[in-house]
Structure 1
Amino acid sequence: MASPVPPRSTWFRTFHPRPEARIALVCLPYAGGAASAFYSLSERLPAQIEALAAQYPGRQDRIREPYLTTVPDLARGAFEELGARVADRPFALFGHSMGGAVAFELARLLERDGPCAPLALFVSGRRAPSIAGDRGIRFRDDAGIIAELRELEGTDSRVLEEPELLRLVLPTVRADYAAAETYHRGAEVVVDSPVVALAGDRDPHVRLDEAAAWRGHTTGAFDLRVFPGGHFFLADHEPEIAALVTDTLRAAIPPGTLAG
């Protein structure tokens, strides 16, 4: 009798399956982003690390699902499925921009109710949770939101030039901005997992001191890495970031687990 085919994941996409991988890197996208934002990073990781990229509802193959408008709701949705995906191997979280906030909330859930805590929490292009930064972008008209996306240079220009695609994606982008802009936690809210904050030295929306303030949100080790570039410095420094993730995880787990 044939083994049943496992159900397709709703929340996570694995672009480069690595059945023998010893560790998982769970990737959380930015506002308006999708799992595909991490395709290239996934490809660059060594064979021992398998990337699981979150696909939030309301975009791409989940376009017909209701979008979520708070960071805790996004984290809770991911948490409900993630536990089973990482129960048998160590894992780390990586979130960019809004995804950094989602990763922090997800780490809190995993530490409290999950099978185990993350080995590390990588927060990229995001101010610390205790620093408010509501710019009111969610209240802008469509042209104003499109202007913001152009300025940040993180959205495919072909999408911004296609009215039908914009009609589909703008409600989700607005909902994501509502989640990102209204997220805030007190200075006392911490995780135990080590935190690595990544920042662009010319990011117009996240100052270096705001990125450094993540130090106060962990009882574990903290590291700040600064890269040349703006808010989407990630795209220009992917090889270095893949190496940073790999080296950090090599140091966090028993010798030999990431050998080779």
Structure 2
Amino acid sequence: MATTSENSNRWIRRFRPADDAPCGLVCFPHAGGSATFYFPVAQALSPQLDVLAVQYPGRQDRLSEPCLEDIHEVADQVTAALEPWTGRPLALFGHSMGATVAYEVARNLERSGRPPLGLFASGRRAPSRHRDLSVHLRDDDGLVATLKELSGTDEAVLADEELLRMVLPAVRADYKAVETYRHREGPRLSCPVSVLVGDSDPVTTPEEADAWREHTTGPCELTVLPGGHFYLNSQAEEVRKVIVRDIGSWA
């Protein structure tokens, strides 16, 4: 079991600790998302895997902390927080914005000589595939409309004005971070990459997702599942099967 630091405890949540698991799975939320999005994953995969869910600042128990608006800064801070957990193999799973953060964390880990076991990139186009978007510049109504369109936010939150006021600053900051992100040239990853995407995702086409193979010298597999941007909610069991299968082949 890792001896965690105060910094690690700020960033990492373990809903189902699995100290004897041979591998950790670090999960990165989408824009506006929080660590609890991955509670069902931890519940389903423990004790086979030790699921570590990343909690970004500006939400839930970190609501009082300022949000971060730069993907590289988020990745650097998460990399530091993962230090106590690098004594055993770590696979990274990120959905949407989380996939980009996970990719930059993977780059950091490889640069430090501690490459991840592999990277799961879900619902996100490859870092080299840019779309000129400005959701973060919309007014609150425009942000809410985007959340409704992507169907990833609890209806109870969308219907509660007070809750909405609490979550929108994090949503706006996250969208700014991901929309202003630009891929920096550098060595490709050496770890395998497993890419997942919904077949009717409005923000990531299968072709944009398949371009992840340009970012690793290792194997890269694309899995297309039925659904939109949050396909993984309705296809949770299939996603878990992919995770277990791929980690088993990487280990």
User: Given the two structures, how large is their TM-score scaled by the length of structure 1?
Assistant: 0.91
Q: Say whether the 8 Å CA contact 1:13–1:53 is kept in structure 2.
A: yes
Structure 1, residues 3-42: CA drift from partner, whole Å, max 9, x if none?
Answer: x997571101000111211110000000000000111111
Structure 1, residues 138-171: CA drift from partner, whole Å, max 9, x if none?
Answer: 0100000000001111001111111111111111
Gaps (5+ residues) in structure 2? none
Deviation at 1:193, TM superposition (A): 1.1
Aligned to 1:137: 135
Q: Say whether the 8 Å CA contact 1:124–1:197 is kept in structure 2.
A: yes
Identity score, percent: 46
Secondary structure of the equivalent of 2:92?
strand
Structure 1, residues 40-73: CA drift from partner, whole Å, max 9, x if none?
Answer: 1111115221100000000000000111001111
Decide which moves more: 8-17 or 19-28.
8-17
1:104 aligns with 2:89: no
1:17 aligns with 2:32: no
Q: Give the whole-Å Cα distance in 2 for the aligned partners of 1:194 and 1:172.
A: 31
Aligned to 1:203: 201
> What CA RMSD, in Å, does the superposition of the two structures yield over aligned residues?
1.6
1:41 aligns with 2:41: yes
Deviation at 1:184, TM superposition (A): 2.2
Q: Say whether the 8 Å CA contact 2:27–2:92 is kept in structure 1.
A: yes
Summarize the alignment of residues 1-260 of structure 1 with structure 2, pairs less than 5 Å apart: 7=6, 9-86=9-86, 88-113=87-112, 116-185=114-183, 190-253=188-251
2:67 aligned partner, one-letter code: Y
Q: Give the whole-Å Cα distance in 2 for the aligned partners of 1:45 and 1:158.
A: 27
1:194–1:161 distance in 2 versus 1, CA, 3 Å = same
Q: Give the whole-Å Cα distance in 2 for the aligned partners of 1:161 and 1:175.
A: 21
Q: Give the whole-Å Cα distance in 2 for the aligned partners of 1:174 and 1:187.
A: 27
Secondary structure of the equivalent of 2:24?
strand
2:12 aligned partner, one-letter code: F
1:5–1:217 distance in 2 versus 1, CA, 3 Å = closer
Deviation at 1:134, TM superposition (A): 2.8
Decide which moves more: 98-107 or 167-176.
167-176
2:49 aligned partner, one-letter code: I
Q: Give the whole-Å Cα distance in 1 for the aligned partners of 2:184 and 2:41.
A: 32
Q: Give the whole-Å Cα distance in 2 for the aligned partners of 1:225 and 1:187.
A: 26
Q: Say whether the 8 Å CA contact 1:58–1:67 is kept in structure 2.
A: yes
Q: Give the whole-Å Cα distance in 2 for the aligned partners of 1:159 and 1:134.
A: 28
1:29–1:203 distance in 2 versus 1, CA, 3 Å = same
Deviation at 1:190, TM superposition (A): 2.1
Secondary structure of the equivalent of 1:53?
strand
Q: Say whether the 8 Å CA contact 1:131–1:184 is kept in structure 2.
A: no
2:39 aligned partner, one-letter code: Y
May I ask how many residue pairs the two structures share in their alignment? 248
1:206 aligned partner, one-letter code: T
Structure 1, residues 85-136: CA drift from partner, whole Å, max 9, x if none?
Answer: 22x211100000000000000000001125x111110000000011112321
Q: Give the whole-Å Cα distance in 2 for the aligned partners of 1:161 and 1:107.
A: 37
Q: Give the whole-Å Cα distance in 2 for the aligned partners of 1:118 and 1:144.
A: 37
User: Given the two structures, how large is their TM-score scaled by the length of structure 2?
Assistant: 0.95
Higher alpha-carbon Rg: 1
